[in-house]
C-alpha cells in the first residue's frame, strides 16, 4: 500500500511508499539492492529494480529471495514487470492445485476414515477463493475416542534428498460450521525412505477453533528432504478426537501450490542482495544484472543477466555463469556485498564490479589466497550468442601478491563496497574500493581497455581510525554505498563515504594529480550523524523528457541516510568553500521520511517517474518490521503547502490479474473463459495442446480497459478444424504477466 502524499516543511513531497502490507506480505526479509530510473525496454516508462533477500524459508514463493522489477505507468501506479525468484522451480508441481478437476491427483489414506468433498461456491459452502471448486473436509465421528486424521495428499516417489520443498495454500472455516473443540486443520510435508518409513516431516501453522471464520487464511510449510528420502508427500490434513457423536466442524482448502528448490535453504545464504542495470555487450539492449547464491558448488549461484528482447517488458532467456568460470583463482563461498555496473575502462562496454565477502584465508581445495576479493568482469561476444565472462581485474585487500599470506598491503578487511570516479581529472576512471577494516579505502585506476593499475603497498586510508578528524575513537568500520561527484566544479570527482559505526560522512579529494596516492591533507570530515547509504546528483538527462535538477539551487547535491532509519539528509557545498574544509564548508538539511522502521540502506537520485521535471529520490529500507516501509519515493518541490487532496499510489502485481477456470469443464462443443484486468493492458489469449504447440489465438495483443471479460472457444483450431479430445492449456499474456490454466475437450 502507498501512504498518503504530503509536503514537508523542507520542500520535499513524499509521492509514494511501498510497504510490506501488500508487497510480499508476511514474508519477512529485506529490500537491500535497488536501481531506479532505467527504461530498459525503451517504452518511455521508468522502472524500479529491487532485491528481496533473507526471506525465512523462502515463505513458499511469496516474496521469495530474488529480483523484482516495477514500471511506473502513470496514474500514480507501479506495475510489477519482472519476478526472478529461483532457486524455485518455475512452476507449481501440483497439476490440480485448485481442485477444479475434483480430486484428481490427490490421494487418500486410510480410505475408511476419509470424509471430504469438492464443493462449489454459494449456499452453505460459502465462496471459493478462485475458480468453481474447493476442497471441503470435515470431522469424523470416532467411537474409539481417539485422534482421527482425514488427509488428502499429493505424492512424488522420485524425491531428491537435499531439495527444499515449500507447500502452501489457503484454508477457510465457515461461520456456519466452524472448527470446534480439538479439531485442527493444517498442511504437512512428509518424507519417506524406500521402505516407507517416515524419516522427516514439517507442518504449517494450525487452523482451529480460534481461527477467524469467513476469511481465507494463508498456510505455508517448508522442509528439506533428508538423506535417504525416496518419497515426499504434500498433505492437506484435518484431525479431531471425540466420541461417536462428536462433530468438529468444517475446513475448506483452495489454491494449493508445491514448489521445489534445487537445494536446502543454507545453500543460498541470505539470497540476492544487489541488482544493477547496464549494457554489458554494447548492443543497445538494456540488461538486468545480479549475482546470487553463496557457495560456488551450487549450480544456481553466480552472475545472472536478463537482456531486454525489444518487446514491451520482454526479456530473453537468462544468461548465467558461475563465478569460478571466470575467476583466475577459484573461490568456494561468500556473499556479494555490493554491485556496480559501469564502463570503467572506457571501451564502450559496461563492466560488472562486485565485492565478494568470502573467507579471510584460502579454502583448501578451492583457493590459493584470501577469498575476500573485488572483481571487475567484462563480457566478450553477444549476450544472446555464446557470450563469455572475462575477469578483467581482481584484487584482495588482505593479500596483494596472492601468495596465500595475509599482508594487508591494501588495508586488509572483507570486501564491502565501491564507487567509480575520475578523482584526478585525467579522463580515466578509478574504482574506490572499501573493505571492512576501520573503514578502509584504496583506489585502482583503469589505464586502458581491460587494463588496470593497482596502488603501491600501503596506499590506503582508514576513515574509521582514531586519528581521523571527527572520530572520537577508532572503529572497525564499514560502509554501505559510497558515491562520487564533482561538488566544487574543479573537473575532478570527490569520493564520499559514511561510516556505519563512526556515524560520520567523509570525503576524499585528490590534490596531487595521483588518485592512487592518498595524502593526509586529501581527506576530511563532511558531517556527523550519517551512517547509511549515499547518492549524488547533478543535472540529469531524463530519457528524452528534458533536463531536470534534483538540487533546489541548481548545484550538485549529496543525499545521505541519517543516523536513524527514517532520516534523509540533503547536503550541499557552501559558496566559496573547500570540499576539504570540514563541517563548516557544508549545508546539511535533514528530513524525516516517516518510514517507521528499518534504515535507508541505499538512496537513488536522478529519477523522474511522473515526468513533471522535478527529480525524485528513491529510498530502499532494510531491516523493516512486518508492515513497515520497503521503498519510499520523495520528490523535490518549491512549495511547502500541504496537499489538500490526499493521493494514494497503487502497486499492481501479477496476482491482481485473474484468469478463471473455464466453464463448463470438460466441455463440448463450447466453453467460456473469464478474465479480469486490474488496469488497461494489451492482452493475448492462446490455446495450446499438450506438446506446447499453438492451437488457436483467441485474442492477439488487444487493448482492453480494466474490468472483467468473457470469451468463448468453440473447440476449433486456427484452421477451423475441430480439435481432438484431450487436455489443452489456455494462456493469458500481457507485457506485465502471464497466466495459464488447463481444460479438457470431450467429443
- pLDDT tens-digit profile of 551-584? 444 578 888 876 766 677 888 899 899 999 999 9
- How many CB atoms neighbour CB 672 within 10 A? 14
Q: Is a pLDDT exceeding 60 seen at residue 630?
A: no
Predicted confidence at residue 714, as pLDDT, reads 95
Strand partners, 589: 570
* Residue ranges covered by each domain of the chain: 111-261, 657-745
Question: What 8-state DSSP symbol labels residue 520?
Answer: G
Residue 31: pLDDT band with limits 50, 70, 90: confident
Residue 9: pLDDT band with limits 50, 70, 90: very low
Predicted confidence at residue 354, as pLDDT, reads 97
- Torsion angle, CA of 510/439/475/530, rounded to 10 degrees? 80
Predicted confidence at residue 551, as pLDDT, reads 46
Q: Is a pLDDT exceeding 70 seen at residue 550?
A: no
Longest dimension (CA), the chain: 92
Question: What 8-state DSSP symbol labels residue 324?
Answer: G
- Torsion angle, CA of 124/127/128/133, rounded to 10 degrees? 40
Tens digits of per-residue pLDDT, 729-738? 999 998 888 8
Sheet holding 319-321, edge to edge: 275-278, 287-292, 302-307, 319-321
- How many CB atoms neighbour CB 551 within 10 A? 17
Query: Per mean pLDDT, which range of 89-103, 141-155, 555-569 is the poorest?
Result: 141-155
Tens digits of per-residue pLDDT, 351-382? 999 999 998 998 888 899 999 999 999 999 99
Q: Are 132 and 123 in contact (CB under 8 A)?
A: no
Residue 621: pLDDT band with limits 50, 70, 90: low
Q: Is a pLDDT exceeding 50 seen at residue 509?
A: yes
Three-class DSSP category at 458:
coil
Q: What integer is the mean pLDDT of 384-403?
A: 95
Predicted confidence at residue 597, as pLDDT, reads 60
Predicted confidence at residue 266, as pLDDT, reads 42
What is the rounded CA–CA span in Å between residue 588 and residue 526?
A: 10
State the cell numbers at 536: 549524488
Pairwise pLDDT comparison (116 vs 506), residue with the higher score: 506
State the cell numbers at 356: 565478494
Predicted confidence at residue 593, as pLDDT, reads 65
Nearest to 644 by CA among 95, 17, 4: 4
Top-level CATH class of 657-745?
mainly beta
Report cis status (omega within 30 of 0) of the bond before 110: yes
Nearest to 305 by CA among 655, 92, 80, 49: 49
Predicted confidence at residue 8, as pLDDT, reads 28
Q: Are 740 and 686 in contact (CB under 8 A)?
A: no
Residue 613: pLDDT band with limits 50, 70, 90: low
CATH numeric code, 111-261: 2.60.120.260
Q: Quickly tell me which residue has 549476450 as its cell.
A: 383
Tens digits of per-residue pLDDT, 273-328? 888 999 999 999 999 999 987 778 777 789 999 999 888 888 888 899 999 999 99
What is the rounded CA–CA span in Å between residue 37 and residue 269?
A: 29
What is the rounded CA–CA span in Å between residue 76 and residue 57?
A: 33
How distant, in Å, are the alpha carbons of 120, 254, 517, 546, 659 from that of 410? 69, 58, 12, 43, 57
Pairwise pLDDT comparison (654 vs 412), residue with the higher score: 412
Residues with Cβ < 8 Å from 75, sequence gap 6 or more? none
Predicted confidence at residue 408, as pLDDT, reads 94
Residues with Cβ < 8 Å from 532, sequence gap 6 or more? 480, 498, 500, 560, 561, 562, 599, 600, 601
Pairwise pLDDT comparison (670 vs 646), residue with the higher score: 670
Q: What integer is the mean pLDDT of 427-439?
A: 95
Query: Per mean pLDDT, which range of 492-496, 594-598, 682-686 is the poorest?
Result: 594-598
Q: Are 508 and 479 in contact (CB under 8 A)?
A: no
Q: Is a pLDDT exceeding 50 seen at residue 270?
A: no
Predicted confidence at residue 458, as pLDDT, reads 94
- pTM, two decimal places: 0.70
- Looking at every residue in the chain, the average pLDDT score rounds to 80
Residue 265: pLDDT band with limits 50, 70, 90: very low
Amino acid at each position: 500500500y502507498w501512504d498518503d502524499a504530503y509536503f514537508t516543511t523542507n520542500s520535499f513531497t513524499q509521492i509514494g511508499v511501498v510497504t510490506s502490507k501488500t508487497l510480499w506480505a508476511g514474508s519477512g526479509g529485506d529490500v537491500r539492492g535497488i536501481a531506479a530510473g532505467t527504461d530498459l525496454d525503451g517504452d518511455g516508462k521508468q522502472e524500479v529494480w529491487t532485491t528481496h533477500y533473507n526471506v525465512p524459508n523462502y515463505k513458499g514463493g511469496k516474496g521469495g529471495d530474488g529480483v523484482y522489477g516495477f514500471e511506473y505507468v502513470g496514474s500514480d501506479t507501479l506495475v510489477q514487470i519482472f519476478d526472478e525468484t529461483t532457486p524455485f522451480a518455475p512452476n507449481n508441481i501440483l497439476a490440480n492445485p485448485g481442485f477444479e478437476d475434483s480430486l484428481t491427483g490427490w490421494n487418500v489414506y486410510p480410505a475408511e476414515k476419509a470424509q471430504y468433498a469438492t464443493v462449489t461456491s454459494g449456499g452453505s459452502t460459502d465462496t471459493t477463493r478462485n475458480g468453481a471448486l474447493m476442497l471441503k473436509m470435515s470431522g469424523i465421528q470416532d467411537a474409539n475416542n481417539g485422534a482421527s486424521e482425514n488427509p488428502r495428499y499429493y505424492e512424488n516417489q522420485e524425491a531428491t534428498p537435499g531439495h527444499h520443498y515449500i507447500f502452501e495454500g489457503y484454508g477457510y472455516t465457515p461461520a456456519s460450521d466452524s472448527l470446534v473443540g480439538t479439531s485442527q486443520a493444517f498442511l504437512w510435508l512428509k518424507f519417506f525412505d524406500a521402505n516407507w518409513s517416515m524419516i522427516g516431516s514439517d507442518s504449517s501453522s494450525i487452523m482451529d477453533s480460534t481461527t477467524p471464520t469467513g476469511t481465507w487464511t494463508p498456510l505455508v510449510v517448508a522442509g528439506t528432504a533428508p538423506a535417504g528420502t525416496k518419497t515426499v508427500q504434500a498433505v492437506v490434513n484435518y484431525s479431531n478426537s471425540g466420541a461417536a457423536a462428536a462433530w468438529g466442524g468444517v475446513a475448506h482448502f483452495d489454491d494449493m501450490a508445491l514448489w521445489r528448490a534445487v537445494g536446502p535453504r543454507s545453500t543460498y545464504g541470505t539470497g540476492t542482495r544487489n541488482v544493477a542495470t547496464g549494457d554489458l555487450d554494447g548492443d543497445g539492449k538494456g540488461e538486468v544484472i545480479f549475482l546470487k547464491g553463496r557457495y560456488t558448488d551450487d549450480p544456481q549461484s553466480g552472475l545472472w543477466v536478463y537482456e531486454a528482447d525489444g518487446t514491451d517488458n520482454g526479456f530473453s532467456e537468462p544468461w548465467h555463469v558461475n563465478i569460478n568460470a571466470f575467476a583466475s583463482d577459484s573461490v568456494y563461498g561468500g556473499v556479494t556485498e555490493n554491485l556496480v555496473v559501469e564502463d570503467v575502462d572506457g571501451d564502450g562496454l559496461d563492466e560488472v564490479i562486485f565485492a565478494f565477502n568470502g573467507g579471510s584465508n584460502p579454502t583448501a581445495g578451492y583457493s590459493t589466497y584470501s577469498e575476500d576479493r573485488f572483481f571487475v568482469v567484462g563480457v566478450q561476444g553477444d549476450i544472446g550468442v555464446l557470450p563469455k565472462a572475462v575477469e578483467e581485474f581482481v584484487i584482495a585487500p588482505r593479500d596483494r601478491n596472492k601468495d596465500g599470506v595475509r599482508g594487508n598491503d591494501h588495508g586488509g578487511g572483507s570486501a564491502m563496497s565501491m564507487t567509480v570516479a575520475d578523482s584526478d581529472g585525467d579522463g580515466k576512471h578509478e574504482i574506490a574500493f572499501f573493505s571492512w577494516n576501520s573503514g578502509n579505502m584504496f583506489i585502482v585506476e583503469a589505464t586502458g581497455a581491460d587494463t588496470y593499475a593497482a596502488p603501491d603497498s600501503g596506499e590506503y586510508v582508514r576513515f574509521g581510525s582514531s586519528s581521523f578528524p571527527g572520530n572520537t575513537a577508532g572503529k572497525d568500520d564499514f560502509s554501505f554505498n559510497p558515491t562520487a561527484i564533482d561538488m566544487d566544479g574543479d573537473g575532478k570527482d570527490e569520493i564520499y563515504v559514511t561510516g556505519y559505526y563512526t556515524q560520520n560522512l567523509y570525503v576524499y579529494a585528490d590534490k596531487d594529480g595521483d588518485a592512487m596516492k592518498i595524502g593526509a591533507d586529501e581527506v576530511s570530515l563532511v558531517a556527523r550523524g550519517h551512517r547509511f547509504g549515499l547518492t549524488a546528483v547533478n543535472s540529469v538527462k531524463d530519457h528524452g523528457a528534458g533536463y531536470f535538477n534534483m538540487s533546489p539551487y541548481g548545484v550538485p547535491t549529496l543525499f545521505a541516510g541519517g543516523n536513524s532509519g527514517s532520516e534523509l539528509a540533503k547536503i550541499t557545498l557552501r559558496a566559496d568553500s573547500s570540499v576539504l574544509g570540514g563541517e563548516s564548508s557544508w549545508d546539511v538539511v535533514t528530513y524525516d521520511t516517516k518510514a517507521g522502521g528499518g534504515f535507508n540502506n541505499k538512496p537513488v537520485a536522478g529519477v523522474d517517474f511522473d515526468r513533471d521535471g522535478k527529480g525524485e529520490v528513491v529510498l530502499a529500507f532494510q531491516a523493516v518490521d512486518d508492515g513497515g516501509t520497503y521503498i519510499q519515493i520523495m520528490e523535490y518541490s518549491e512549495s511547502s503547502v500541504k496537499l489538500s487532496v490526499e493521493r494514494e499510489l497503487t502497486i499492481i502485481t501479477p496476482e491482481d490479474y485473474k484468469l478463471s477456470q473455464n466453464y463448463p469443464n470438460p466441455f463440448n462443443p463450447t466453453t467460456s473463459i473469464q478474465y479480469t484486468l486490474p488496469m488497461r493492458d494489451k492482452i493475448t489469449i492462446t490455446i495450446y495442446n499438450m506438446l506446447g504447440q499453438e492451437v488457436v489465438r483467441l485474442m492477439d495483443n488487444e487493448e482492453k480497459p480494466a474490468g472483467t471479460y468473457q470469451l468463448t472457444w468453440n473447440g476449433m483450431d486456427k484452421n477451423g478444424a475441430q480439435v481432438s479430445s484431450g487436455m489443452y492449456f489456455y494462456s493469458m499474456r500481457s507485457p506485465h504477466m502471464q497466466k495459464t490454466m488447463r481444460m479438457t475437450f470431450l467429443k
